Structure 1
């Protein structure tokens, strides 16, 4: 598992470029992070380990990650207002309910990661 701050920063740059309409039906060129939280939290957990967390928002649960005791929310930029994080435990199944297998495989593929069927 990759865990250095440099690796995570480089991953964040790659992630922003990998998001697309293939990875979320809510994607738009002016807000590429929109709708990417579930699928992103799953791929982040694949690569970095840790836990998936959630915070309930008006539009539904927002998913992100806890890695080595630190919160990482790669999709927070989709929101106009700061999030009041609740850091509730979540899991793979719940985060997958926010996305689907096609979007998950698409994000892994766009990141150059192995895609298992």
Structure 2
């Protein structure tokens, strides 16, 4: 997930501290990544570039990124078991449709100010 790349590791730690019920309604203290995938994919792309990808997990889309040819999924810990990645192309609008501009701006602001 983040091994070997200090910028990815740093961003992951900032995200974990910034996630909350305000950035994703399914957030829980015991599972902070829950409900954060689409908003996180948007923030990661804003910070690092790359592509937004998606995969079906139990009938719902799960969003994540590809940065410099590497799959980056900072929210995979929300799942109880490993997921299969389809790496289907997605885009900012599709990810934004799964969150809100308010949640995106809040998380991005927390990352940039932290």
TM-score where L is the length of structure 1: 0.90
Q: Which residue is 1:100 aligned to?
A: 100
Cα distance in 2 for partners of 1:13, 1:57 equals 24
Runs of 4+ aligned structure 1 residues displaced above 6 Å come to none
Question: For the structure 1 residues 8 and 25, does the alpha-carbon distance in structure 2 shift closer, same or farther, using more than 3 Å as the test?
Answer: same
* Unaligned ranges ≥5, structure 1: none
Match of 1:12 in 2: 12
Distance in 2 (CA, whole Å) between partners of 1:31 and 1:99 is 18
Q: Residue by residue, what CA displacement relative to the aligned partner does 1:67-102 show, whole Å, maximum 9, x if unpaired?
A: 010000000000001011000000001001110011
How much has 1:8 moved relative to structure 2? 1.0
The correspondence of residues 61-100 of structure 1 with structure 2, limited to 5 A, is 61-100=61-100
User: Aligned equivalents of 1:79 and 1:14: distance in 2?
Assistant: 20
SS in 1 for 2:112: coil
In 1, the alpha carbon distance for the partners of 2:40 and 2:10 equals 15
CA distance in 1, matches of 2:51, 2:109: 22
Q: Does 1:25 align with 2:25?
A: yes
**Structure-2 separation of matches of 1:93 and 1:33:** 21
Partner of 2:81, secondary structure, is coil
Paired residue for 1:53?
53
Matched, 1:40 2:26: no
